[in-house]
């Protein structure tokens, strides 16, 4: 294994993949259990899923990878997830990983791929970052089928008396396309009903959240039929079921519901399935992938989007209460870079270079943020292993400062990770500490709130106990929305809080662990199909734009199909 | 084989498919030459494509299936294509078929599937009609990436001085969605530039035409870079290459470019690849599929969209001059139903039932239309075999009338086809007559016009020699458009005429072979990437709408994934 400086794509291309059935065989799935998409990608067959979930194999332990409040560069959650899975297999454990599917939007915008990086990637990375097995395309098509049926209903008699100003179902596209944020449809002489509309990224569609929570096809269809797509002239909800779209939509998602399986660079089996947003949805891969993964492996390493206060909290309060899953240990990804970013109170972000100089004081000043994440996570009753994702510019003194700070903290360990540059070998310390934590774990996991608490109680629990707010202000339509949700019976469900990921608070400029502030909640709406309520605290970006010179402009493909500029 | 009345879906489900590599092996492709999408769908690997096209295997003969002016129900071109392929194999020939990929729009609208029907279908029909191998989704994504990059360019500095009122690149969606016909994008505070926009069905995207004409990845990329996406403030064209979108767009189409291979109900290998419109594009499956197919089989049966005056003419004047392909024989699909429809001058269409009563006089009156198609096709120097797609209500007297009418016509034969109900067995007469025609064919094929004729000459040739018009009027912007196209050097290319398919004339109400009329050409525009000019003669429907109760409303899927209502 080399740690030469190479691009992710070059590293990925330098590795000889095994046929995927050879990767899954030691984990109990042979070739007949797979629906192949070429030799290196597969969906798990429905029969194999049923057999795994209905069989009496014991569940493996779930290790949840989450992170501190990141810099805009991200601190390497996916890399750590992939690397930890590889490291666990290196130390003799049977470990699976489960991560989200990338969206095309960021790939062509600025972010590049989302399949890990360096020597901790999932393969074939270019396929996974492009069309993969078509799940996201199926979601886009399914989403827009509902839109087309809804507008056809409105323009062809409107029997359900839908108020065209109260349509709650946007259109979806899997690109960063600013011009589609707000649109007017049915314009000109199109014969449609003219109305305001918007587009969201497919990852932000409620269908994505549904796909990631559905247990089987029937559940999927029932959830789809509950989606509120509009309100009628009396203000009553109109659902996808009411416009008779549930069956056809479920047909389009039939294949997408089955988890995809691929391999990491070291041949660890990787479930890559679903990718909901972590602000207006729950931000983690599909429950079905998790269910399958914990049956196949003794360990399932999975990740939650954004920092621990967003995706991490949602995994434990939302996903664990909607599905049959709970973590046995937390890996909290931190970096010297992010610690300095908080310690230096750097906002706006001044770029990576500024953070490459040794500055132990800044690292120590940044503990404020990491400490808060640690104590947040400890409230759930779980052991926390901080994984310092070590970058080449980090110094030993900086790393040592982190180790020292946490050495005597109860239920907390620190491990250094160099999985980006070294693959699983760079995650052995982390793997050993995490397995140790799992072995000593007493099973005391508890979500922070009960589902039968009021919506306000649930919001206030997260705001005060996780974000560190003094309390919550309900502004805009929030009070009315809560009253309506209670009337609809949508109050005994988890609440997904949508908040900036740049800070623990609702102000992206505030680094560390801000105190003395109050969270403004300005709007709530039901994701009735997914089974949660979304509470918005600020502007939500569900449709990013491309920069003046998008990443796509530098991409190319040569005559033999070799891609360049993609990553 | 049963001819019990069953739905297409039930028939399809009653057949045990062979693994696709067993289907292709006798035709020279083994498992290693295929990229499998499950056991029954595959793309042909690039290596196998290269080997076939660069090898010295002789080309098989191409049989082009086209039709008379159809009723709104369609007269069974795809069924005939599939059935003829099966029949040829039954009589001991090695025959392949090549057809277009269906679009989701009609599937969920009214038309149902497009994978043949009855005992002459391609399998797995529900996959082919839904996501298949993802080609159409890839095209939608690629199309909309260009849109996103174009609008980002305009709103982020607009260095190329694009006139936002002169954008020539719509957005694309693969649904019948009336509300998207005309839209306003960049509305509200979206931070985009507000402008009028429209959506086309993905099948109507120029990218679809390009995919179906490109010879390899380099050609694909070059064609994409030539697409005219807008005009600048000086009226000069701005291309996809100018906005640096060609590489990334080609990346998204890399896999879609390779032909898909599946099997018919009787195990005949079927290439199903690409599906451009037959009015604003050339209306036939990909050239690459044809190239591969004529290397693999002694016969390649392929079809062209709409009637022979539209898709048929385009295959011979456009496709044969842009690619390396020419037919050796024509199968002209006719039906007693369609003959009566013309004979009775039925407009608006009064439904199928009216046409089920025996009416030999009406059949004979309808020969006017079929005669014109026959003489049109004979102009290209090809033998014509009329295939009467026999329906259960057709009487022997009606069929006999057709046989008699054409029995002494030079270069013309008549065969009865019952491939819908009987599979290949029902196409044996047709297969024998067509092979006979091919064997006696003297190779005299000629397109109707030379590419170096002027645009007007080309248009007038088709209008007078095919449609039967007395001449052409240039109205609206047509004269200016022609001048501009000549200035751009886009005049030595084929012309794709867009005209109603309900009549040989430009008036859908006129049945038979209308005379004494003049064709109005009202607008011309370049499809510079595809390499042709489109001439519009009337309103073109590139974005259909859903009916008040779309087919989708009756679709369902049960717990074990079985689909109902799809077909």
Nearest to A254 among B174, B554, B557 (CB): B557
Domains annotated for chain B, with CATH where assigned, are 8-133+256-439 (3.40.50.300), 135-252 (3.30.1510.10), 455-536 (3.10.410.10)
A555, A566 Cβ separation under 8 angstroms:
yes
Q: Match 């947040």 to its residue by tokens.
A: A376
Q: What is the dihedral of CA B38, B41, B47, B51, to 10 degrees?
A: 140
Q: Give the closest-approach CA distance of B309 to chain A in angstroms.
A: 29
pLDDT at A4: 63
**Mean of per-residue pLDDT scores for chain B:** 95
* Spatial distance between the Cα atoms of A97 and A115, rounded to a whole number of angstroms: 12
Per-residue pLDDT of B331-363, as tens digits, reads 999 999 999 999 999 999 988 888 999 999 999
**Which of A201, A253, A544, A557 has the highest number of chain B CBs within 10 A, making it the mutation to test binding with B?**
A557
CB A518 within 8 A of CB A473: yes
The CA dihedral of B59, B19, A255, A200, to the nearest 10 degrees, is -20
Instruction: Give A12 to chain B, closest Cα distance, Å.
Output: 17
Task: Give dist(CA B123, CA B120) in Å, integer.
Answer: 10
Contacts of B18 (CB under 8 A, 6+ apart): B263, B267
**Residue in chain A lying closest to B144 (CA):** A175
Touching check for A250 and chain B: CB below 8 Å? Answer: yes
Those residues of chain B that have pLDDT short of 70 are: 1-5, 111-113
Residue A47 in contact with partner chain B when CB distance is under 8 A: no
Is B563 in CB contact (< 8 Å) with chain A?
yes
For residue B165, the tally of other CB atoms under 10 A from its CB is: 9
Strands B269-272 and B95-99: parallel
Is A557 near chain B, with CB under 8 Å?
yes
Residue A495's DSSP bridge partners are A533
- Shortest distance between the Cα of B357 and any Cα of chain A, in A, equals 34
| Chain A touched by B192 (CB under 8 Å) | yes
Alpha-carbon distance of A431 to A433, in angstroms, equals 6
CA distances from A138 to A252, B130, B140, B146, B211 (A): 6, 9, 12, 20, 21
A104 vs A213, more confident: A213
Q: Which residue in the block uniquely carries the two structure tokens 């029907």?
A: B117
Q: Which pLDDT value is given to residue B1?
A: 43
User: Tokens 């680094």 belong to which residue?
Assistant: A511
Burial of B233 (0-12, 13-18, 19+ CB in 10 A): exposed
Amino acid A1: pLDDT: 43
Nearest to A561 among B184, B187, B217 (CB): B217
Residue A489: CB atoms within 10 Å = 10
Q: Computed over its alpha carbons, how large is the radius of gyration of chain A?
A: 23
Mutate to test the interface with B, among A152, A167, A191 (most CBs of B within 10 A): A152
The predicted structure's pLDDT at residue A113: 66
Confirm if B42 and B17 have CB atoms less than 8 A apart. no
Contact A136, A103 (CB under 8 A): yes
B412-417 and B384-389 strand pairing:
parallel
Closest C-alpha among A274, A268, A319, A323 to residue A123: A268
Tell me the DSSP string of B449-513. S-TTS-HHHHHHHHIIIII--SEEEE-TTHHHHHHHHHHTTTTSS-EEEE--SSSSSS-TT--S-
Query: How far, in Å, CA of A213 to CA of B469, rounded?
Result: 61
Residue A3 has pLDDT above 60, yes or no: no
Residue A10: Cβ-neighbour burial (10 angstroms; 0-12, 13-18, 19+): exposed
Contact check, Cβ <8 Å, A557/B191: no
Average pLDDT, stretch A254-279?
Answer: 96
Instruction: Name the residue among B35, B185, B245 with its Cβ closest to that of A179.
Output: B185
- Which B residues in the span 463-492 are in contact with A, Cβ-Cβ below 8 Å? none
Compute the distance between CA of residue A493 and CA of residue B422 in angstroms, rounded to an integer: 56
The residue among B253, B249, B225, B219 whose CA lies nearest residue B237 is B225
Say if A333 is an interface residue toward chain B (CB within 8 Å): no
Q: Which residue does chain A place closest to B558, by CA atoms?
A: A218
**Residues comprising chain A, all counted:** 567
Tell me what pLDDT residue B321 has: 97
Average pLDDT for residues A367-384, to the nearest whole number? 98
Signed CA dihedral, B285, B288, B292, B294: sign only: positive
- Do the chains contact at B152 and A108, CB–CB below 8 Å? no
Q: Report the chain B residue with the minimal C-alpha distance to residue A195.
A: B179
B185 and A180: CB-CB below 8 Å?
yes
Contacts of B248 in chain A (CB under 8 A): 108, 552-553, 555
Comparing CA positions, the residue from B40, B86, B282, B266 lying closest to residue B274 is B282
Find where tokens 């525009």 sit. Answer: B525
Shortest CA distance to A402 belongs to which of A429, A431, A370, A425? A370
pLDDT beyond 80 at A354: yes
Give contacts of B153 with chain A, Cβ < 8 Å: 548
pLDDT tens digits for range A471-492: 999 999 999 999 999 999 999 9
Please determine, for residue A515, whether its predicted confidence score (pLDDT) is greater than 80. Answer: yes
Which residues on B lie below 8 Å from A144 (Cβ)? 173, 175, 177
As beta bridge partners, residue B519 has: B472
* Sheet bearing A523-527, strands edge to edge: A495-498, A532-536, A523-527
Q: What whole-number distance in Å separates Cα of residue A333 and Cα of residue A68?
A: 6
Return the residue of B nearest to A258 by Cα.
B561
Taking the Cβ of residue A129 and every Cβ of chain B, the question of whether any pair is shorter than 8 Å is answered with: no
Give residue-wise pLDDT tens across range B159-213.
999 999 999 999 999 999 999 999 999 998 777 899 999 999 999 999 999 999 9
| Cα–Cα distance for residue pair A249/B316, rounded to 1 Å | 40
Residue A243 pLDDT greater than 70, yes or no: yes
| Annotated binding-site positions of A for ATP | 71-78
Per-residue pLDDT of A109-168, as tens digits, reads 876 667 899 999 999 999 999 999 999 999 999 999 999 999 999 999 999 999 999 999
Residue A385 has φ and ψ, to the nearest 5°, of -115, 115
> Which of A140, A157, A196 is closest, CB to CB, to B548?
A157
pLDDT at residue A189 tops 90: no
């Amino acid at each position: 294994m080399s740690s030469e400086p190479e691009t992710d794509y070059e590293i990925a291309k330098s590795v000889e993949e095994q046929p995927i059935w050879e990767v899954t065989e030691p984990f109990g799935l042979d070739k007949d259990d797979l629906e192949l998409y070429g030799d290196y990608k597969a969906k798990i067959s429905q029969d194999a899923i049923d057999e795994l979930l209905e069989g009496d194999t014991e569940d493996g332990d779930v290790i949840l990878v989450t992170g501190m409040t990141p810099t805009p560069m991200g601190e390497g959650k996916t890399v750590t997830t992939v690397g930890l899975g590889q490291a666990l297999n290196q130390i003799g454990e049977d470990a699976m990983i489960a991560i989200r599917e990338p969206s095309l939007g960021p790939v062509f915008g600025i972010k590049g791929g989302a399949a890990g990086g360096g020597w901790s990637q999932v393969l074939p990375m270019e396929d996974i970052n492009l069309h993969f097995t078509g799940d996201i395309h199926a979601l886009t098509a399914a989403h827009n089928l509902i839109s087309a049926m809804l507008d056809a209903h409105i323009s062809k008699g409107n029997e359900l008396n839908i108020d065209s100003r109260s349509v709650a179902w946007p259109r979806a596209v899997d690109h960063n396309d600013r011009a589609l944020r707000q649109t007017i449809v049915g314009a000109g002489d199109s014969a449609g009903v003219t109305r305001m509309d918007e587009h969201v990224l497919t990852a932000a569609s409620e269908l994505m959240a549904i796909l990631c929570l559905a247990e089987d096809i029937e559940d999927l269809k029932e959830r789809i039929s509950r989606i509120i797509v509009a309100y009628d002239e009396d203000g009553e909800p109109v659902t996808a079921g009411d416009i008779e779209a549930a069956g056809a939509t479920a047909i389009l998602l039939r294949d997408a519901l089955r988890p995809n399986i691929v391999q990491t660079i070291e041949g660890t089996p990787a479930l890559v399935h679903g990718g909901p947003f972590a602000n207006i949805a729950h931000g983690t891969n599909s429950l079905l992938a998790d269910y399958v993964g914990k049956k196949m492996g003794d360990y399932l390493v999975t990740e939650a989007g954004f920092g621990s206060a967003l995706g991490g909290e949602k995994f434990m309060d939302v996903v664990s209460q909607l599905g049959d899953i709970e973590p046995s240990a937390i890996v909290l990804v931190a970096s010297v870079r992010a610690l300095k970013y908080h310690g230096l109170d750097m906002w706006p972000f001044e770029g990576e270079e500024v953070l490459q100089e040794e500055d132990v004081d800044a690292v120590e000043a940044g503990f404020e943020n990491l400490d808060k994440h640690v104590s947040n996570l400890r409230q759930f009753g779980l052991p926390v292993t901080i994984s310092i994702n070590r970058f080449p510019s980090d110094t030993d003194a900086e790393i040592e400062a982190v180790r020292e700070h946490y050495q005597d903290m109860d239920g907390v360990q620190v491990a250094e990770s160099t999985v980006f540059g070294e693959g699983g070998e760079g995650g052995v310390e982390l793997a050993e500490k995490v397995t140790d934590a799992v072995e000593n774990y007493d099973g005391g996991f508890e979500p922070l709130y009960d589902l039968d608490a009021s919506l306000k109680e649930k919001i206030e629990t997260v705001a005060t106990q996780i974000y560190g707010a003094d309390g919550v202000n309900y502004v805009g339509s929030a009070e009315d929305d809560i009253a309506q949700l209670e009337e609809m019976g949508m109050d005994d469900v988890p609440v997904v809080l949508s908040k900036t990921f740049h800070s623990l608070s609702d102000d992206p400029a505030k680094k560390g662990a801000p105190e003395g502030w109050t969270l403004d909640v300005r709007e709530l709406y039901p994701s009735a199909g997914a089974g949660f309520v979304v509470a918005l605290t600020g502007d939500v970006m569900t449709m990013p734009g491309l920069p003046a010179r998008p990443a796509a402009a530098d991409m190319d493909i040569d005559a033999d199909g070799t891609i360049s500029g993609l990553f």
